[in-house]
């Protein structure tokens, strides 16, 4: 097989272009630690419409090829490639794929970009390869690719427990976010291994609870080690009209929540020289939610 599709195959859907949305952690509590060293968490994931873009082209020769490698990331490490190979192996399909990635989500920012790329790859190839896998089948593959991958396959805003794999759907009010991107790369492993990190936050129960009552246990550790993160967060917290301001994940990105787009964009217009950011709308569902049946 040379990878060239027959006319019949080419007439079918042989290409897909799909978004890979970012996420925000509206709060993140560290409530304990397992014997294997993994931390036990509670968090609320909010999907937003700021996204990477992935393009997939069907191949008939079984080859999986990434045409847009990320600097510093080998093809074997790339989450899109790993997701495609994992699904190919577990499904037994003979199809392959050409992958093109347009990166917009900052790396190392706590926005889940790489995890979202992996989840979009699973969902898109489920359709492109006509596998017909259900969501729970794809969810079983997700943890092997990363702790944040399951929520993107899950396909909606979620209250998460365990190491992030226990997900419950949660309804969140409409919201717009001003997200700032400090020019630093935070080491997640370093933050979680810090002696200053508290690991005994009292678990909250769902329902009822309010995201505004939560906090990010990683935030003090990151702000102490990365003054730029602290400076960006301090600026957000002085904004009028913001419902909340916090760091997402293990940073470095920080965000403020607003009830309307106009308020979020007005705040973006006031961002001081040297700070960068963007406005994103909160989503209720992943754009590819219908790519897997329940």
- Which pTM value belongs to this model? 0.92
15 closest CA partner among 55, 63, 65: 55
Binding residues for ATP: 106-116
42 closest CA partner among 203, 157, 221, 150: 203
Fold of 15-169: Ribosomal Protein S5; domain 2 (3.30.230)
Choice among 7, 23, 52, 130 that is catalytic: 23
Residue 11 known to be catalytic: no
Q: For position 10, what pLDDT does the model report?
A: 43
Q: How many beta carbons lie within 10 A of that of residue 25, not counting itself?
A: 27
Residue 78 known to be catalytic: no
> How would residue 187 be classed by pLDDT, with cut points 50, 70 and 90?
confident
180 closest CA partner among 48, 280, 94: 280
Q: For position 75, what pLDDT does the model report?
A: 87
Higher pLDDT, 194 or 153: 153
Which of 28-37, 42-51, 107-116, 274-283 has the lowest average pLDDT? 28-37
Contact between residue 16 and residue 99 where contact means Cβ atoms under 8 Å apart: no
Q: What percent of the chain has pLDDT over 90?
A: 76
Per-range mean pLDDT, top range of 6-20, 70-84, 184-198: 70-84
Handedness of CA 193, 187, 231, 209 (dihedral sign): negative
Q: For position 7, what pLDDT does the model report?
A: 37
Contact between residue 135 and residue 293 where contact means Cβ atoms under 8 Å apart: yes
Map out the domains of the chain as residue ranges: 15-169, 175-282
Q: Write the CA distances from 278 to 170, 183, 214, integer angstroms.
A: 25, 14, 24
Which tokens go with 92? 């037994």
Sole residue written with tokens 């989840």: 119
Tell me the CATH architecture of domain 175-282. Answer: 2-Layer Sandwich (3.30)
- Reported as a single tens digit per residue, the pLDDT across 57-112 is 999 999 999 999 988 888 889 999 999 999 999 999 999 999 999 999 998 899 99
Choice among 52, 78, 117, 148 that is catalytic: 148
Sole residue written with tokens 């009822």: 208
């Amino acid at each position: 097989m040379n990878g060239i599709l027959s006319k019949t195959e080419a007439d079918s859907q042989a290409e897909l272009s799909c978004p890979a949305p970012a996420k925000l952690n509206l709060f993140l509590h560290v409530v304990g630690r397992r014997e294997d060293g993994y931390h036990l968490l509670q968090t609320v994931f909010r999907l937003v419409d700021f996204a990477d873009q992935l393009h997939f082209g069907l191949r008939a020769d079984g080859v999986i090829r990434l045409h847009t490698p990320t600097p510093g990331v080998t093809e074997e490490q790339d989450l899109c490639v790993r997701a495609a190979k994992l699904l190919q192996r577990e499904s037994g399909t003979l199809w392959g794929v050409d992958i093109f990635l347009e990166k917009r989500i900052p790396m190392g920012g706590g926005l889940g970009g790489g995890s979202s790329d992996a989840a979009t790859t699973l969902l898109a190839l489920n359709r492109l390869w006509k596998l017909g896998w259900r969501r729970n089948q794809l969810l079983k593959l997700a943890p092997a690719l990363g702790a944040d991958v399951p929520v993107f396959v899950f396909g909606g805003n979620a209250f998460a427990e365990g190491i992030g794999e226990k997900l419950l759907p949660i309804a969140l009010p409409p919201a717009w976010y001003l997200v700032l991107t400090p020019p630093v790369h935070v080491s997640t492993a370093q933050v979680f291994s810090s002696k200053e990190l508290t690991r005994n936050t009292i678990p909250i129960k769902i329902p009822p609870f309010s995201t505004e009552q939560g906090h990010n246990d990683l935030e003090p550790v990151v702000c102490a080690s990365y003054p730029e993160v602290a400076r960006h967060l301090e600026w957000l917290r002085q904004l009028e009209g913001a419902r909340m301001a916090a760091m997402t994940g293990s940073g470095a990105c920080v965000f403020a929540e607003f009830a309307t787009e106009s308020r979020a964009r007005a705040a973006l217009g006031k961002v001081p020289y040297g700070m960068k950011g963007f406005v994103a709308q909160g989503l209720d569902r992943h754009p590819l939610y219908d790519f897997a049946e329940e």
